[in-house]
Structure 1
Amino acid sequence: MAGMYCASRGLCVFFVCTAVILSVTGGSDAAVVTTTHGDVSGSEFLTSSVVGNAVFDRVFTFKGIPYAAPPVAHLRWRPPQDHTGWTGVRDVTEFGSRCPQVEFDLSQYNLTGTILDAFPFRSNSSSEDCLFLNVYTPNVSDTANLPVMVWIHGGGWNSGSADTYPAEIPTSLHNVVMVTLNYRLGNLGFMQTLDDDAPGNFGLLDQIKALEWVRGNIRNFGGDPDKVTIFGESAGGWSVSMLVMSPMATGLFHRAISQSGVAGVPVVQKGDITLTQLLAHSLNCSTDSYEDMMSCLYWLPSEYLLTLLYPPVVIDGRFLLQSPWDLMNNKVINRVDYLLGSNNDEFATLASEVPYVDADGLTRAEFETYLPYHLQHTVDQYLGGSIDTILQPVIDQYLDPDMADDPIYLRDQFLQLQTDAWFAAPTVMMAQAQSGMPAVAWQASSRVYQYELQHRASVFSFFRPAFVTGADHADDLYFVFGIPLLRDDTGTSWKYSYTQEERDLSLDMMAYWVNFATNGDPNDFTGAARMRTLVTWPRYMTSSQSYLKLNMASSADVRLRESNMKFWNEEVPRLMGKDLNTGSGGIRETSCILSVLAFTFVVSYLMA
C-alpha cells in the first residue's frame, strides 16, 4: 500500500507524476543566504507559465542543503551529528542524493502520455550521504516572518524522497515558507541495536535534527521559527505523530498535520534485536556475538541492507517513553494544534495489487484466509499481542451474518475494515487525545481539526477498478500540492484533465492547510495572500467529534463511523490487555512520565 514501501500504486505514481513537472526554472540567481553551516545560493523558480492562479511570479528555491553530517562509516546507526560546515558560498541549485531504498520499475504501468508521464525522482543519485533538506520561499528577507511548513515524506519508512514533492506550487500561491527533508529509511533508519544511546529510531532522530536546523536558520529564508508546522502523509503522517509524542521534539514545532497516517506503528522494547539478528543471518553475518554481528553489518554496502519491512519504533526511554498507544491513552503528548485525517477508501489500491480482491468480490474462504495477514500490523502495535485474540471479534464487527456469503459485500467490508484499522481509528484516537489534553495555566488548549477526503479524482479512472468510488491512499497529495493547477508546455492550458471543481478543491485544501499553519484555524485567512470562500470547518471536540467531509461539496459531520472507531480504539485494546484508564504502565508509571515531560517543557521554555 502507499506509504508502505511504495507497494501502493497510488504513492508510486505520485512520485512519478511530480518528478520533473517543475524542471523549468529561470531568472537571475537567488540571493545568498547565511546558515549556521555556511552561506548558500539557490535559484529562482518562475511561476507564471507553470502554475495557474499563482500569487507570486517567482519562488526562491534552495535545494540539497545538508542539515547533518553524512551518516556513513562509523556514523551508520548513530544519531545524526552536526555538519562540519563549508567555506565560501555553497551552490544549492540541485537536489541532494536520496536515501538508499528499494526502487521500483514503473515501466510496467505504461504511463506515457498520461498524468503520470515523468520520472520517479528529481534527485540524480542515491547515497547514504542523504541528510539534505530543501527550502522554498517567496521572500528571503529575515524580517518577513512567514509561517513555516516542514514536509515529512511517506513511503512506509522504506522509500521516498523530499525532492519528489513539488513544494514550489503551494509556495507560489501562499505567504508561506516550505521545507522538505530526507531522512534515513528501512534498515539504515530503523534497525535496532544494543547501544544505550542509539537503540534505533534513527530516521526519526534525523527529523528532529532537521527541525533543529529549521529553528536555527529559517529566519534568514523569510520564515518565522516561532510558527513552524510539521506535516506529512502516510509514513510521514506517522512521523508527525511520533514527533508530537516525543519529549525530544518539544518546542521544535507548534502545529502538526497528519494525512493518512497516525501512530499505528509496530513497536519493540529497547534491547529487542530479534529483527536485527534475522537481518544479519540473512546476510551471512554471524550472530554468535553482538560485536561480531554489528562489525559485519557496519561494513556491508548499503544495497545489501535494502530489505522491505514494516519498521518498528523502539520504546527507548528518550525519543519514546511509552508505546504510541499508551502515550495517546494517557494523553502524555506534546500540546500542539493538530489537523489530521484520512481518505475514505485508503485500501482501494489493494484491489488492484492482490489477486484475491477484484471486481467479482471476495469469497468467505478468501476473507478468512487473508484477514490474519492484514491484522498483523495492528497486533504489532501492542507488545505481546496475538492475532487469535482479535480475529473473531473483527469478523463479528464487520460481517453481517445475513450478508456473509455475498462476495461484493465481503470485498467492500474487507477493504473498509483495513481503512479503519490502519488509518481512521488511530486518527480519531489522536484527535481525542490532543483535544482532551487537560488545560494548563501557561498554554491554551490545543485546537484540533479532523477531515475525511471522499473524492475520487477523475484523472485516475484509467487505471482504478470501477468499484473504487472513494479517495484512495495518497489521493490527498495531488490536491495538497496543487497538481491540478499545473500548466502545459505552452503555459496557456491545463496540463492535466482535472475538472474545474477539482481545481477548486485543490485550492480549498491548500488554503485550509496554510490557514491552519498560519493561525491554528483552517478557517482564518489572517495573513493570507488570497482569500477564498470556504465551508466552515468545525473544531474537533471530545464531546462533538466534528469533522469535515472534503469533497466537491464539502460539509461538516460528526462521529466518523463511530461504532467501528470504538471497536478499534476501545475493544481491541481491551482484548490486548490494555487498561483504557491508566494504560499498561498504570498510574505510577504515567505520573513519572508526566513529571519527565513537565521537566522537559520547562527546560525547553527556559532555553527558547
Structure 2
Amino acid sequence: MMSKFKKRIQLIAKMLQIVLLLLQTTLTLTAREPKQVTLVNQGTITGMYITRFRTKRIAAYVGIPYAQPPVDFRRFTAPDHADLPQWEGVRNATIYAPDCMQSDPKKEDVQNPLRKHDELFAKLLEAQMEEPRKKEYSEDCLYLNVYVPDDLRVEGYPTLVWFHGGDFVRGSPNNINPFQLVLKQKVIFVSVAYRLNIFGFFSTLDNAAPGNYGLLDQIASLNWVKNNIASFGGDPDNVCIFGHDAGAVSVGLHLLSAYSAGLFQKAIAMSGNVLSPETVNIARKEIITVDKVANAFSCFRTPTDQLLDCLRRVNYQALLDIGEPLAEWKPIIDTGFSNVSGPVIPDLPSKMFKDDIFTPVPVLTGYTNMEDALLLEKDGSGDSGVSQREFDVMREEIILADITVDNSSCFTNQHHIQDAVAFFYKPIPPTTNETVLRKLFLDFYTDKVHGATTYQLAKHISKHAPVYLYRFDLKPFSDIANEGIPDWIGVPHNFDLIFTFGLPYSALPEDFSKWDYRDKSISEIVMKMWSNFAWYSNPTNSGVIIEWDAFETERPGYLIINRQNFTMSTPETVNYKAFEFWTDFYPKVVEIGTKCCKETAEDNGSEQMLPTRMLHSLLYLYLILVLLS
C-alpha cells in the first residue's frame, strides 16, 4: 500500500516538474522584452518585440547611437565613433530617434519638389501603419535600428545594413518596415541614419571641412556593426550593405572607398548606380557653392577656419532653410582636401572602376523598367503622351548636360553629337503617335541612366566577383498598390520595394484582403532571393527553382522579373546594343566632339575645316556601321 502511495507521489512530482517547465517556457515566449544586449564601450540596452497576429514576432532595438552627436564643434566634421556615447544602467532602445535634418517637401515646392513616385510610395507606406509616425528632425541624428529574428541559431545570422534613398537631401531609416524579411528569411536588418544635404555634404574644399560626412557616418555605422552584431546573434564576417536610390549610390561608393574596405562582404544596390551621370561633385564646380554659403550667412569667406566658426554658430533650422537650396548636395571627390587623412572618394567612380580600384565583393544590382515614367505626367490625366517637339527638346537637354565646353563656337559640334543620339533613337518608320514617342523617350532615358550604367558596372566587377543583374518589370496585381499609377506605366521608382520588404503581408487587418494572393507569393520569392544572396552570395542557392546566372561579358544576362515568370534576358527583352552604344560609342563621340571644339577655339584658320568635316563624316559612317552590324 505504501509503495503505491510513494509511486503516486513521485508521479505527481514529475507532473509538477513538467508543468513548471512548460510555464517557464510559456513565460519566456510571452516575455514583454527580448534579451538585453551589452554593446562594446557603450552599455546595455533593452529592446522590444514587434508582433503580428500575436504569434509572429521579431525583436527590435531602435534609436541606438553609433557616434557622438554631430552638433556644435562636431558640425561639419567626420563622425566621432572612437569615443562612443556611454550610459549607466540599461538604456531603453524602444523609441525611434528623430530623422536627420531635412526639409519636409511638398509637391508644389518649386525649389525642392516631392516627386510623384516618392509621394505615391510614401502614401502606400503610411497606409500600412496603425498610426502614421510623427515626423521629427534633429541635428543629433546618428542612430541606427537593429531588427533580429526571435529564435536561436548555432551559426550567426547574416546582416543587411540598409542605407535609405532620398537624393542625399532627405530620407529616413524608420520608414521601411523589415518585419517580414526578418521573420521569414532569418536575417538581421540594420537601418542607418546619416547626415543629409548641407549638414552631410558641405565642404570648404580643404582640411577645415573636407566634406562627405554623410558617407563617413555610414562607414562609422559599419564599424559599429562589425564590433557589435555578434551580440545580437549576427555574423560580423557576413555583412551585406544594401541601398536604394541614393542608398544604392552610397553602396557603389563604399565599393570604391578604402575607408569601407573589410567592413562588408557583399552588396545590393537597387535603382541607383554610382556610374550614373553626376553622382558625385568635383572641386572646381563647388568653389561657387562655398562662396554662396559664406554670403548667405554673412561669414568671412577666408580663412576657412573662420568661415566654419561662423557657420557652427548658425541655428540649425536657419542653416537648413537658407543653406539647403544653395546647391545640389551630394558626395564629392575629396582628393587633396586634407593633409592629415586620405580621401573618401579619390577619383571619378568611372575612372576608379576602369582602373580596378575597388573592393571585389559579390554584387546584386538592377532597376525597374520604368524608373522615371511618373515624371512624364503633365496634367494628372494618367494618359499624357509626348509630342515630337517635346521628345526632341527633352532628349537634347539630357545630352547637353554631358557636354562641358567653354566656347560658343562648339555649337555645331554639339549638334553632331545630338544627331548621333537622335539617329539611334528615332522611330522607324517615322511617327507622330504620342504614345509611341513616349515609349521611345522612356527607353532612351532608362537605357542611358539605368540600363547602360548597370551593364557597365557589371562588366567591371564581374572580372573579380560574381554579379547578379535584374530588371523589375512586375507591376503589382493589387489595386491598393497601383493607386495613382496610370495603366501604361509598368514599375516606377520605389515600387519594387513592395516585394523586397513583403508589403502585401504588412497590411492592416482591414486592408489585408486588398492584396492579391499573387503579390504575396511573388513577394515571398523576391525576399527569398535577396536573403539567399545575403546568406550565400547566390540569390537562388536555396528555396527557389529559378535560373539566375551570374553576369559574364560574353553572356551578359539579366533576370527579367515579370508577371509571367522570372527568366534570363534575351536580345528581345534587353537592348544590349543600346548599352554598348552608351558605354562604348557615345563617350567617343562626346570626347572627339568636345575636343574638336577646343581645337577650333584655339585655331580658327581655314585649314581646320577639312579635318573637322572628315571627322563628322567618319563619325556618321561609324554609327551607321554599328547600327547595321
Same-fold status (TM-score > 0.5) = yes
Note if contact 2:251-2:268 (Cα within 8 Å) is conserved in structure 1.
yes
Is residue 305 of structure 2 the alignment partner of residue 296 of structure 1? no
The answer for the alignment partner of 1:175 in structure 2 is: 186
- How far the C-alpha of 1:401 sits from its partner, in A, is 6.2
Query: Which letter does structure 2 place at the counterpart of 1:188?
Result: F
- How far the C-alpha of 1:535 sits from its partner, in A, is 1.5
Write out per-residue CA displacement over residues 69-100 of structure 1, whole angstroms, 9 at most, x where no aligned residue: 11111111111112232222110101111001
Is residue 78 of structure 2 the alignment partner of residue 79 of structure 1? yes
The answer for the alignment partner of 1:477 in structure 2 is: 497
2: CA distance, partners of 1:283 / 1:355? 39
Note if contact 1:66-1:132 (Cα within 8 Å) is conserved in structure 2.
yes
2: CA distance, partners of 1:247 / 1:197? 21
The answer for the alignment partner of 1:62 in structure 2 is: 61
- How far the C-alpha of 1:471 sits from its partner, in A, is 1.0
Note if contact 1:152-1:231 (Cα within 8 Å) is conserved in structure 2.
yes
Query: Which letter does structure 2 place at the counterpart of 1:33?
Result: V
Note if contact 2:121-2:495 (Cα within 8 Å) is conserved in structure 1.
no
2: CA distance, partners of 1:208 / 1:84? 17
Note if contact 2:244-2:270 (Cα within 8 Å) is conserved in structure 1.
yes
Secondary structure of 2:281's match? strand
Secondary structure of 2:160's match? strand
The answer for the alignment partner of 1:371 in structure 2 is: 395
2: CA distance, partners of 1:112 / 1:135? 22
Using the aligned pairs only, state the percent identity.
28
Note if contact 2:333-2:345 (Cα within 8 Å) is conserved in structure 1.
yes
2: CA distance, partners of 1:396 / 1:286? 51
Greater fraction of residues in helix: 2
The TM-score with structure 2 as length reference comes to 0.77
- How far the C-alpha of 1:482 sits from its partner, in A, is 0.4
Query: Which letter does structure 2 place at the counterpart of 1:186?
Result: N
Q: How does 1:375-454 map to 2 (within 5 A)?
A: 375=399, 388=414, 390-400=417-427, 402-403=429-430, 405-437=432-464, 446-454=465-473
The answer for the alignment partner of 1:13 in structure 2 is: none
Query: Which letter does structure 1 place at the counterpart of 2:476?
Result: A
1:546 to 540, 546, 557: 557
2: CA distance, partners of 1:423 / 1:127? 33
Secondary structure of 1:163's match? coil
1: CA distance, partners of 2:495 / 2:121? 17
Larger radius of gyration: 2
The answer for the alignment partner of 1:18 in structure 2 is: none
Consecutive unaligned residues of structure 2, counting only runs of 5 or more, are 1-29, 109-115, 336-342, 405-409, 593-629
Note if contact 2:373-2:442 (Cα within 8 Å) is conserved in structure 1.
yes
| TM-aligned CA distance change 1:143 to 1:97, over 3 Å | farther
Secondary structure of 2:420's match? helix
Query: Which letter does structure 2 place at the counterpart of 1:327?
Result: M
| TM-aligned CA distance change 1:184 to 1:113, over 3 Å | closer
1:573 to 560, 572, 587: 587
2: CA distance, partners of 1:413 / 1:233? 26
The answer for the alignment partner of 2:173 in structure 1 is: 162
Is residue 282 of structure 2 the alignment partner of residue 269 of structure 1? yes
2: CA distance, partners of 1:485 / 1:114? 13
Write out per-residue CA displacement over residues 505-550 of structure 1, whole angstroms, 9 at most, x where no aligned residue: 111110000001100111112xxxxx3x332211111210111111
The answer for the alignment partner of 1:513 in structure 2 is: 530
Is residue 576 of structure 2 the alignment partner of residue 555 of structure 1? no
The answer for the alignment partner of 2:203 in structure 1 is: 192
Secondary structure of 1:61's match? strand
Write out per-residue CA displacement over residues 235-294 of structure 1, whole angstroms, 9 at most, x where no aligned residue: 111111111111111100000001011112433334743223234434554546544543
2: CA distance, partners of 1:103 / 1:255? 33
2: CA distance, partners of 1:199 / 1:397? 42
2: CA distance, partners of 1:106 / 1:60? 36
The answer for the alignment partner of 2:603 in structure 1 is: none
| TM-aligned CA distance change 1:356 to 1:112, over 3 Å | closer
2: CA distance, partners of 1:195 / 1:112? 38
The TM-score with structure 1 as length reference comes to 0.79
The answer for the alignment partner of 2:111 in structure 1 is: none
The answer for the alignment partner of 1:226 in structure 2 is: 237
Write out per-residue CA displacement over residues 282-322 of structure 1, whole angstroms, 9 at most, x where no aligned residue: 45545465445434333223333443554342222321222
| TM-aligned CA distance change 1:449 to 1:336, over 3 Å | same
- How far the C-alpha of 1:406 sits from its partner, in A, is 3.3
1: CA distance, partners of 2:352 / 2:120? 45
Note if contact 1:98-1:123 (Cα within 8 Å) is conserved in structure 2.
no
| TM-aligned CA distance change 1:450 to 1:110, over 3 Å | closer
2: CA distance, partners of 1:110 / 1:316? 36
1: CA distance, partners of 2:306 / 2:392? 43
2: CA distance, partners of 1:191 / 1:357? 40
Q: How does 1:29-428 map to 2 (within 5 A)?
A: 29-36=33-40, 37-48=42-53, 57-82=56-81, 83-105=84-106, 117=127, 122=133, 125-139=136-150, 144-196=155-207, 198-263=209-274, 264=276, 265-270=278-283, 272-285=286-299, 287=301, 290-306=304-320, 307=324, 310-317=328-335, 318-352=343-377, 354=378, 359-375=383-399, 388=414, 390-400=417-427, 402-403=429-430, 405-428=432-455
- How far the C-alpha of 1:379 sits from its partner, in A, is 6.3
The answer for the alignment partner of 1:600 in structure 2 is: none
Note if contact 2:205-2:334 (Cα within 8 Å) is conserved in structure 1.
no
Note if contact 1:338-1:447 (Cα within 8 Å) is conserved in structure 2.
yes
Query: Which letter does structure 2 place at the counterpart of 1:46?
Result: T
2: CA distance, partners of 1:77 / 1:141? 42
Write out per-residue CA displacement over residues 395-414 of structure 1, whole angstroms, 9 at most, x where no aligned residue: 33222364364322222222
Aligned residue pairs total: 524
| TM-aligned CA distance change 1:105 to 1:314, over 3 Å | closer
Query: Which letter does structure 1 place at the counterpart of 2:468?
Result: Y
- How far the C-alpha of 1:391 sits from its partner, in A, is 3.7
| TM-aligned CA distance change 1:452 to 1:110, over 3 Å | closer
Write out per-residue CA displacement over residues 131-182 of structure 1, whole angstroms, 9 at most, x where no aligned residue: 1100000158696411111111111111110000101221011121110000
Which stretch shows the higher mean deviation, 127-136 or 417-426?
417-426
- How far the C-alpha of 1:191 sits from its partner, in A, is 1.8
Greater relative contact order (Cα 8 A, min sep 6): structure 1 or 2? 1
Note if contact 2:128-2:508 (Cα within 8 Å) is conserved in structure 1.
no
2: CA distance, partners of 1:122 / 1:214? 26
| TM-aligned CA distance change 1:293 to 1:121, over 3 Å | farther
2: CA distance, partners of 1:297 / 1:496? 53
1: CA distance, partners of 2:375 / 2:330? 22
